[in-house]
Amino acid sequence: MSNYGKELILDIHDCSTELFNRKGLTHFFEQLCNLIDMERCDLHFWDYEGEPEEYAKAPIHLKGTSAIQFITTSNVTIHTLDEMKRVYINIFSCKEFDTSLTSDFVARVFEGTVMQSKVVDRV
């Protein structure tokens, strides 16, 4: 069976929350896709934007923004946890990309510490 692609899974803690919003994450996806030479397609968000009462009531582990950036070779997903200052990212592509370069870039952008980084070969 041949390798179909790979997935980079990153857990980053102690982040700056400055980019934990739609505008900041859109810019992040643009930079990331340029870095790893991936063509961006649809971008979708899920958050509490426009729903301040719901956001205030949400448990700490749910307060943040989730987004999926579709790319021609698969997708990039992100989940931010604002109050915990954490970012969880999955990058899945059947196109080759440099996982070390990507991990370093993400840690720099969010000014955090990579707590866990895993590469999964997809078959």
Pairing verdict, β 86-93 and 5-13: antiparallel
Query: In the prediction, which pLDDT does 45 show?
Result: 96
Of 69, 88, 91, nearest in space to 20 by CA? 88
| Assigned CATH class of 5-122 | alpha beta
**Residue 71 identity (one-letter amino acid):** I
- What's the confidence (pLDDT) of residue 2? 77
Question: Torsion over CA of 97, 98, 99 and 103, rounded to 10 degrees?
Answer: -120
Confidence at residue 113, expressed as pLDDT on a 0 to 100 scale: 96
What local confidence, expressed as pLDDT, does residue 54 receive?
66
Size (the chain), residues = 123
Give the residue extent of every domain in the chain. Answer: 5-122
pLDDT along the chain (123 residues), means of 10: 89 97 97 98 88 73 92 97 96 96 97 96 92
Contacts 24+ apart (CB under 8 A), 31-37: 31/105, 31/109, 32/76, 32/91, 32/102, 32/105, 32/106, 33/69, 33/71, 33/76, 35/101, 35/102, 35/105, 36/91, 36/93, 36/97, 36/98, 36/101, 36/102, 37/95, 37/97
- At 60 the pLDDT is 82
Rounded to two decimals, what is the model's pTM? Answer: 0.91
Q: What distance in Å separates the CA atoms of residue 4 and residue 24, rounded to the nearest whole number? A: 31
